[in-house]
Chain A
């Protein structure tokens, strides 16, 4: 009996210790980002172009570029993903939909660097070099399977009875799907989409050899463009202390945006459903 009790105690202790241990890196990260980042962030940092070491400068173009590349990715990925998810939710018993569903699941596990190679081969090689578009395509490739899943799940939560109610009024199926099912599921779809956008906004690997980098402001969709994650990476592995400090500033901006979006979405979702 004593041994059994002891085993139980030890196990309980191990579980509590695991939870505590998992918090340490998270707290350490948040603390370092905030403490090191705050001392760097200023209006100048947020609005200026990068400068050589010793001359200050900022991440303004990278912030701008991130919005543009994520915007391009969303413009491509969201409509395609929602359409595919809608197909899976409304026509689940077809062979095609089983194949799409399984493939989408599997695609969520594609390493992010691979989507970079893909966009490189499709866009960079064929359309005159590194570009914001290539970066957007790489990120869109990452986001599509997640948008498919989130749309499918949200639409499948809509009770079958609502579809019947609409059909019983003499509504055709396409209207039923677009007006009744989609509008009922929209909150879930928007929530999932925003979380996906937040997730890809921090991706670096797909952008390294697609969007590449740029020392200037955005110059057009077919030109290379600076983004926050790539800039943070470049500055982090540089040999300059001043750039290291600026990397932390960039990290604070990026994490701040991503976590804010995450928390807002989750709070709103918690309230609504």
Chain B
């Protein structure tokens, strides 16, 4: 356990020295730059959304009307849009991420692995406004023609695929989000799989298990905590993502049923309307949406952190 310098008071008999001052100064800076920052963030959001909270109360969360001109502010379409698009992103992104993780950890030849691992992580370095730009001009037209229209034609009887088919839609937004969370989820999962002791894997294979069976019986029980944490981190990222979603989701504050229709998210409405909100109540309503977004993503992140901390030994850290 020799890893840490002890706290100053433990140094028996040491006079008040520059060391004590040093520790105190660092402590103050750490408290200011992290704890005070977090507290201030929350306080500012609370204070500035107070007018909306007092004006609308709990109804704000349940009302579907968003009509700033008429002074009607309901957050449900945005909360709904955020949740649906993020969950759909998980539905698309998680299986792919796990496939990639297994491929990179177990299947790929060393050379392919050495190239592909950083390349997929490169995807995480591309700014979301650029992904949004690509979403507008490449992905959205592609989705409309090659995904949404066929889905509508062949599966349109399902409410979630009913027409008309738009390019700027919840489906497109979820695809964009899936692309953005794949690097996070796949890299943490890959590390978790790699952390499973070689002996255990070889033990299963020696008993005649196929690779698939070995992964299911040995690796999955070992790595599932870390993988679950990674999925939560991805979810947190998807919920908070702003630009890429704003640029492709169509920005329509309705409770959609068809994924081929436009929607709206909490982050997107703030990005779009904040500078237009000249009235105090309008601004407060937007900031309250920010508060809700903050609380939801903090909750998801705290859960993710608790899970990954718990399994850090397995996951090899985040």
Contact = CB atoms under 8 A, between A and B. Distances in A.
Interface string A1-32: 00011011001101111110111011011001
A100 B4 CA distance: 16
B275 A111 contact: no
Contacts of B290: 113-114, 117
B136 A107 contact: no
Interface of chain B, main secondary structure: helix
A122 B36 CA distance: 14
Interface string B46-78: 011000000000000000000000000000000
Interface string B87-126: 0000000011111101110111000000010111011011
Contacts of B7: 91, 93-94
A38 interface: no
A92 B32 CA distance: 17
Interface string A241-273: 000100110010011001100100010000000
Contacts of A107: 34, 37-38
Interface stretch (B144-152, B194-202, B218-226, B294-302): B294-302
B34 A145 contact: yes
A33 B38 contact: no
Nearest to A251: B130
B274 A208 contact: yes
Given A19-B99, A96-B27, A122-B44, A113 B240 contact: yes
B243 A22 contact: no
A106 B29 contact: no
Interface stretch (A40-48, A54-62, A80-88): A80-88
B240 A173 contact: no
Interface string B259-286: 0000000010011001100000000000
A152 B108 CA distance: 33
Given A33-B130, A229-B127, A174 B19 contact: yes
Contacts of A204: 127-129, 242-243
Contacts of B236: 109
A117 B287 contact: yes
B103 A4 contact: no
A25 B301 contact: no
Interface string B182-222: 10001000000000000000000000001111010000000
A233 interface: yes
B26 interface: yes
A15 B99 contact: yes
Contact of B2 (A112, A160, A229): A160
B96 A18 contact: yes
B96 A110 contact: no
A15 B237 CA distance: 24
Interface string A105-129: 1111111111111101110000000
A8 B128 contact: no
Contacts of A203: 127-128
A131 B5 CA distance: 42
Nearest to A174: B22
Nearest to B308: A105
Contacts of B100: 15, 18-19, 22
Interface residues of B, number: 95
B35 A15 contact: no
Contact of B267 (A8, A18, A33, A111): A111
B104 A258 contact: no
B4 A148 contact: no
A103 interface: yes
A255 B127 contact: yes
A96 B32 contact: no
Contacts of A244: 137
Contacts of B257: none
B48 A121 contact: yes
A96 B138 CA distance: 49
B158 interface: no
A144 B304 CA distance: 20
A81 B37 CA distance: 12
Nearest to A231: B129
Nearest to B2: A160
A38 to B, nearest CB: 15
A205 B138 contact: no
A168 interface: no
Nearest to B44: A121
Contact of B127 (A108, A141, A202, A209): A202
21 contacts: A15-B102, A18-B98, A19-B120, A22-B186, A23-B120, A26-B120, A87-B23, A97-B30, A110-B297, A111-B294, A111-B297, A117-B48, A141-B37, A156-B3, A204-B242, A208-B275, A229-B127, A236-B129, A244-B137, A254-B130, A255-B127
Given A156-B3, A258-B126, 13 more contacts: A18-B98, A19-B103, A19-B116, A92-B3, A144-B37, A202-B129, A203-B127, A204-B127, A205-B128, A233-B243, A236-B136, A248-B133, A255-B130
